[in-house]
Structure 1
Amino acid sequence: MGGKTTWKIWGLSAAMTVETAHLLKPAKAIVDSVLAEVELASSRFRPDSEVMQLARTGANNTSISPTLALLIDGALKAARDSDGDVDPLLGGELANLGYDRDFARLPAITAKGVSIIQGPLRPILWPLIQLNGTKLTLPAGTALDLGATAKAMAADLAAARVAEELDTAALVSLGGDIATAGNAKEPWQVLVRDTDADPWQQVSLHSGFAMATSSTRKRRWSHRGLAMHHILDPAFGLPAHRVHSSITVAESTCLQANTYTTAGIVRGAKALQWLESMNLPARLVGLDGTVQGTSRWPAPARKPGSVSENG
């Protein structure tokens, strides 16, 4: 029987399960090491992180750590795969919207204001990022935000390192970003739900696959009397228009899954058709709780006398 542990990190709920129970403690140490490396490289809330140092000095053929180079390479892949809907240069915009500190310290929403969803078009500059090995050049005046992709990559890296170093199947979950590695004897059972009040579904996740959920409901705060959420539309640098409360996608890596969930939130009403066209298993929950799925998403299990929650 496997071993499981849960904890809090980056203001998120984290969990890890290993198939070999007695390896839980060394596995947790490996995960902690990976997360510490990722945080030191990419946090926007640590003044000593590499991302914050670059925000102060800029980057012009600047040497960076292999960890940050790997994270930026993943963020650029996400930008390409989403046609720019996942933009790694939104650090300045997030800070201007008040998201300039750890989420737990942000002001709670106290008014019924709605997020600004339109404004002047911002220049799309991420294609100008130059990454050559560990040498980085950023467009002048820009700031990195690797929050979404770095978290997903951290889950991928942590699960893979546990499986490789300890020879056990592992699942790592970081705030809805779930990665697996190793050869599990049975599929992992995953509960898909954004908040306790939302419709839920249990699905089987086969070893070597990943799942991510992007939400417009959890990371919200108040800024100048308006309700904000953390997924920005890169076209405007403002919170994406809320059509879905959450989108979940299963893919071969957590980075890929998170790319499509984030881009789906940005695409709003076009998300379902787009995810279907990509032949992705995806589950979309509307603001009213209505659940839709692509053709590859598993139908909810039926119990005698029950009604499918997807309706």
Structure 2
Amino acid sequence: MATLRVGRSVARWRVWSTSASVVVTEPDTLAVAREVVDAELSAVDRACSRFRADAELALAERAGRPVTVSPLLAELVGAALAAAERSGGDVDPTLGNDLARLGYDRDIAEVRPDGPAVPPVRRVTSWQDVSLAGRTLTVPPGVRLDLGATAKALTADRCAELVNERLGTGVLVELGGDIATAGPGPAGGWLIHVRDRPADPPATVRVTAGTAMATSSTASRSWRRGGRLLHHVLDPRTGMPSSRVWRSVSVCADRCVIANTHSTAALVRGAGAVTPLARAGVAARLVDNQGQVHVLGGWPS
């Protein structure tokens, strides 16, 4: 997913094995805007990357006791626990060990493309076993958190807000399909191209300033074990990849972290995704495995 606007007011680069884009309405602020976003991305990586042994989150997990964490990590963990509660546990941050067991134990670009089959295991831990009181974090011994479902989206929100606050420009920040906006938008709104994979049906939409969008996918970040195609969105009940009812789900909301919670939960819920999305009153676009598009909640045109 990427904006269609081009020129001096757009910066694009690669980070976290995905795309990053910053679009500003005031071209003279672009260079500093990218610096602000880069600094925030680095801070989040140091706080909670699942692939860094020296990440603050990894140190807290290994402590085996309550620890005081930074305000940033507390916000990131808090967002993950809020998403778990909002989704009824369908978006669960305690799946780090399950992802590693399935082979996603390093940057996706370095994951072995195939290997032995991985049998399911009985999960005994959930998000409700993790405690966060202010900045005091308690992770059960042996549990590894994966904040990927919410940290990228929250980072997009934070980056957009920081750029707008510091530079006074309207801004759109995109991190691997998670989009946040802040400040005044361009005339006619932000123009966004929506398509997860090259073969998927595309859509181009206009959204107003302050709108966020997230796309979650069962087609991206895939690998094989025992010849079976796996992906990174796991069902917390089984610790295995969710069923591929939807290739991708895109959701609009006021904040990207909220949109991402709904889009990720929809993939986990599979055929049961539409009713909760309709009940939540969010605009959504779902692409099924046959490439058919389903929209609801006033999806923008």
TM-score (norm 2): 0.93
Measure the CA separation in 2 of the matches of 1:96 and 1:296: 40
Kindly provide the amino acid, as one letter, of the partner of residue 76 in structure 2: L
Shift of 1:288: 1.2
CA contact (8 A) 2:20 2:174 kept: yes
Equivalent residue, structure 2, for 1:91: 96
Q: How does 1:124-135 map to 2 (within 5 A)?
A: 124-135=125-136
1:57-93 Cα offsets, whole Å, 9 max, x none, are 33x2211111110100111110011000110111111
Equivalent residue, structure 1, for 2:58: 52
CA contact (8 A) 2:170 2:185 kept: yes
Shift of 1:40: 0.4
CA contact (8 A) 2:77 2:147 kept: yes
Shift of 1:120: 5.4
How many residues matched? Answer: 294
Equivalent residue, structure 1, for 2:140: 139
Shift of 1:170: 0.4
Equivalent residue, structure 1, for 2:77: 72
Q: Which runs of 5+ in 2 are unaligned?
A: 1-6
Measure the CA separation in 1 of the matches of 2:296 and 2:41: 33
Shift of 1:109: 5.5
Equivalent residue, structure 1, for 2:3: none
Measure the CA separation in 2 of the matches of 1:267 and 1:121: 19
Q: Does 1:189 align with 2:191?
A: yes
Q: How does 1:18-37 map to 2 (within 5 A)?
A: 18-37=24-43
Equivalent residue, structure 1, for 2:180: 179
Residue 103 of structure 2: SS of its match in structure 1? coil
1:254-295 Cα offsets, whole Å, 9 max, x none, are 000000000000000011222112111000001110110114
CA contact (8 A) 1:86 1:259 kept: yes
CA contact (8 A) 2:61 2:139 kept: no
CA contact (8 A) 1:2 1:17 kept: no
CA contact (8 A) 1:284 1:293 kept: yes
CA contact (8 A) 1:124 1:235 kept: no
Measure the CA separation in 2 of the matches of 1:259 and 1:67: 19
CA contact (8 A) 1:2 1:18 kept: no
The partner residue of 1:6 within 1, 5, 12 is: 12
Measure the CA separation in 2 of the matches of 1:98 and 1:198: 26
Measure the CA separation in 1 of the matches of 2:262 and 2:196: 17
Shift of 1:108: 2.5
The partner residue of 1:107 within 101, 107, 112 is: 112
Measure the CA separation in 2 of the matches of 1:206 and 1:256: 17
Residue 292 of structure 1: SS of its match in structure 2? strand
Q: Does 1:151 align with 2:157?
A: no
1:144-188 Cα offsets, whole Å, 9 max, x none, are 100120000110000000000000010000000000011224310
Kindly provide the amino acid, as one letter, of the partner of residue 84 in structure 1: G
CA contact (8 A) 1:229 1:239 kept: yes
Residue 273 of structure 2: SS of its match in structure 1? helix
Measure the CA separation in 2 of the matches of 1:229 and 1:152: 19
TM-score (norm 1): 0.90
Q: How does 1:114-129 map to 2 (within 5 A)?
A: 119=120, 121-129=122-130
Measure the CA separation in 2 of the matches of 1:190 and 1:227: 30
Does the C-alpha gap of structure 1 residues 290 and 109 become closer, same or farther in structure 2, counting only changes over 3 Å? farther
Deviation larger for 198-207 or 101-110: 101-110
Kindly provide the amino acid, as one letter, of the partner of residue 173 in structure 1: E
Residue 189 of structure 1: SS of its match in structure 2? strand
The partner residue of 1:222 within 212, 221, 224 is: 224
Equivalent residue, structure 2, for 1:236: 238
Shift of 1:51: 2.1
Measure the CA separation in 1 of the matches of 2:198 and 2:99: 27
CA contact (8 A) 2:114 2:226 kept: no
1:87-124 Cα offsets, whole Å, 9 max, x none, are 0111111111111100000123599x9x97xx455234
Deviation larger for 122-131 or 270-279: 122-131
Kindly provide the amino acid, as one letter, of the partner of residue 51 in structure 1: L
Equivalent residue, structure 2, for 1:199: 201
